[in-house]
Structure 1
Amino acid sequence: MGEHEARGWIRSDETAKQMLSRVLGDRAFLLLPPLHRVPLRAGNVVEITGSSPTAKTQILIQAAITCILPKTWNGVHYGGLEKLVLFLDLDCRFDVLRLSDMLKNRLLEAYRIGNGAWWQLEESNVKTQDKSKIVYDEELYVSCMKRFLYLRCYDSLELLSTLKTLHYRIRLQEACGSQVGVLMIDSIGAFHWTDRLSSSLALDKNNRKSLSLTNVVETIVQEMKKLMQVHSLVVIATKATIYEEKYPTNENNRNISSHSDLFGNPSSKAQQPPFREFMPSSWQAFVTHKIFIRKSDDHHKSLGQQNLSAYLLEWLQPQLSSIDRFIVDDVSKLSHLQVLL
């Protein structure tokens, strides 16, 4: 190696100020319940597994709102991260109106808490039927929605092409002052069965080279790794199960169940998850955190005496001894998650 090449190799890529800004900006953060048990940091890949429906997309939306909200705004504390969210919708069922309604609800709740007595006085002067018309901060709402980038993919090749262009999209957002925080993938296994049924996915008509199911997933993982090397982000992906172990989901029955079934040896439990794994090994090795959600036999009654479905959330990796029980409530058509202690 010549002197010129050696100097080029040891030349710094960033200043000390840039390094400190990057390192201090990559601190671990906590999301709202039920994802509050384990702090997440850049480089983590979280897989949320459960049958349909088990509120997986709802959890993604709530986590996304926490990311796009600012920490404070005009003296009101919102507790957000003020980061850009990249949302890849693979099952094409995402409801942007639900995101909008939940965001407005969070804005109103934070504003009500921040203004205390004034809000109670103002709310008492508003008729019950007009409470839904209470104005939220429109400027803050628009600012948050601009930090939510939604992309829809219809097959694996479109997903690959989208991942290859994400770096350019992120650069455009960063030029506008938004820093990327989370990459969300709704239903990572959406194309698994169509790809498996196909003998191969031809790259083009004049190229005999083809992509097998394993190669497709490996390429997707490699593209994500390249993206994570350049940008400090957390990946959160949902996955539907094809088979689950048949054991009681009722809380009382679970306590009667054998200790090894629920809180057994971490290594044995990691080897035998309560569902059949169908994703290739390249994806499984890529995942750093695993969450399993199932429906509970118990139901919760809301203030209106309406029976609401309850769910159980369990951390498989890292394995935690506690299991969170939560419901998806619906108040004035504004859905939110609530952890039942």
Structure 2
Amino acid sequence: MSGEAAAAKRWINGDESAQQMLGRALTSRPSFALPPPLHRAPLRAGNVVEIAGPSPSAKTQILVQAAVSCILPKERNGVHYGGLGHSVLYIDLDCRFDVSRLVEMLRHRIVQVNGCSSTADNEEILKLSMRQFSYIRCYDSFELLATLKTLHHWLEKEKKSDGIGGHFLMIDSIGAFHWVDRASTSLPLGGKNRKCLSLQNVLEVVVEDLRKLLSVHPMLVIVTKATIVAPTGNEFRRNYKRWPSSGTPYTSSELEGLQKPYFREYMPSIWQSFVTHRILVQGSDDHIAMPKSQENDAAYVSEWLLPRLNFLDKFVVRDAGVFLVS
């Protein structure tokens, strides 16, 4: 009997308590400490996190900041940088990704640790971090489907070459081709007798391919999605008398208002059931005076819909990234 077969037999015949099982699961798939506003819920490999919100609502900024925290090393030459030291695969469907913004946020994080004097060290950490970032741009659903079909082989190749597989998969934005695919009913997804390209079929294949990918390469998936805001939602937001400080529980009246649907869901049910976590971000009418700033910054508000957390987080976006407002 081979070593793998013997290990599998021991696993099948083994017995463990619930505490032992949870300890083993948490050790093999630990939670990731991501920056605000993704810090409220414990996120692990295999989770699918959807950052939903109207445009503009800083969704891409949140995604880029999460990428920065992922690719920064935890520690290098005895210096603690506070990153995760993991690789990121970024799939851009909006085709508006600005790599200079990623580099700018990375530099800010590195300078906070090393200071402006350590130029050589700063550049070394910057290059080391950027090697952990891979970028793919797709212009339509055909390119997205082709990319997902080849990701398994690409990840295997990366793992063999440098010993690092994929840890984070980021997609910006999953609904980018929604209206084009919705209008397309006659384009085949292949040769004769194949399915026709439609929104439902595209999302079915996307979800199926992502499930297969996650079963072989456990990763944390974070996607952005533009929302269609319903009128009741805008009215509800405007009627807020105050925005609570970050981490402040809702009042009973605010919580009652949040039970009302304030954006219209347009993604098919197969996608909705695939998502394990959902956070809603929106702009507010508030402007915040930040320290060492001569101008007031526009404020945004986030809330967790899945799981439902009765908290609002208010944040602003600056050159160095996203900052919570206390």
TM-score, normalised relative to structure 2: 0.84
Aligned to 2:198: 212
> Which of the pair has more CA radius of gyration?
1
The answer to whether structure 1 residue 225 and structure 2 residue 179 are counterparts is no
Aligned length: 305
The answer to whether structure 1 residue 310 and structure 2 residue 296 are counterparts is no
Shift of 1:134: 4.9
The answer to whether structure 1 residue 70 and structure 2 residue 73 are counterparts is yes
Distance in 1 between residues matched to 2:10 and 2:83, nearest whole Å: 28
The answer to whether structure 1 residue 338 and structure 2 residue 323 are counterparts is yes
Contact 2:185–2:197 at 8 Å: present in 1 too?
Answer: no
Aligned to 2:220: 234
Aligned to 1:153: 138
Identity of aligned residues (%): 49
Contact 2:47–2:276 at 8 Å: present in 1 too?
Answer: yes
Name the SS of the counterpart of 2:67 in structure 1.
helix
- Of 176, 179, 182, the residue aligned with 1:196 is 182
Distance in 2 between residues matched to 1:307 and 1:203, nearest whole Å: 50
Unaligned runs of 5+ in 2: 12-22, 245-249
Aligned to 1:93: 96
| AA aligned opposite 1:32 | P
- Of 129, 139, 164, the residue aligned with 2:149 is 164
Aligned to 2:279: 291
Aligned to 2:263: 275
Shift of 1:220: 0.3
Deviations 1:118-137 (A, max 9, x none): x7xx6xxxxxxxxxx95552
Shift of 1:204: 3.6
| AA aligned opposite 1:229 | S
CA distance 1:219–1:8, change in 2 (3 Å): farther
Distance in 2 between residues matched to 1:250 and 1:74, nearest whole Å: 52
Contact 1:292–1:313 at 8 Å: present in 2 too?
Answer: yes
Bigger drift between 181-190 and 238-247 goes to 238-247
The answer to whether structure 1 residue 178 and structure 2 residue 167 are counterparts is no
Aligned to 1:38: 41
Deviations 1:278-324 (A, max 9, x none): 00000000001010011111101243321211000101111111110
Distance in 1 between residues matched to 2:127 and 2:224, nearest whole Å: 27
Aligned to 2:289: 301
Distance in 2 between residues matched to 1:87 and 1:68, nearest whole Å: 12
Contact 1:89–1:153 at 8 Å: present in 2 too?
Answer: yes
Contact 2:181–2:197 at 8 Å: present in 1 too?
Answer: no
Bigger drift between 136-145 and 191-200 goes to 136-145
- Map of 1:239-250 to 2, 5 A cutoff? 239-244=225-230, 245-246=233-234, 247-249=236-238
Name the SS of the counterpart of 2:34 in structure 1.
coil
Contact 1:250–1:298 at 8 Å: present in 2 too?
Answer: no
Shift of 1:274: 2.2
Deviations 1:169-210 (A, max 9, x none): 111222212232111000100011000011233124544542
Contact 1:85–1:148 at 8 Å: present in 2 too?
Answer: yes
Distance in 1 between residues matched to 2:217 and 2:130, nearest whole Å: 21
Distance in 1 between residues matched to 2:38 and 2:26, nearest whole Å: 23
Shift of 1:23: 6.8
Aligned to 1:130: none
RMSD: 2.9
Contact 1:50–1:56 at 8 Å: present in 2 too?
Answer: yes
Contact 1:108–1:136 at 8 Å: present in 2 too?
Answer: no
CA distance 1:169–1:221, change in 2 (3 Å): same
| AA aligned opposite 1:149 | S
Distance in 2 between residues matched to 1:71 and 1:195, nearest whole Å: 41
CA distance 1:261–1:289, change in 2 (3 Å): farther
Distance in 2 between residues matched to 1:194 and 1:26, nearest whole Å: 38
| AA aligned opposite 1:190 | A
CA distance 1:9–1:96, change in 2 (3 Å): closer
Aligned to 2:56: 53
Contact 2:32–2:43 at 8 Å: present in 1 too?
Answer: yes
Contact 1:67–1:81 at 8 Å: present in 2 too?
Answer: yes
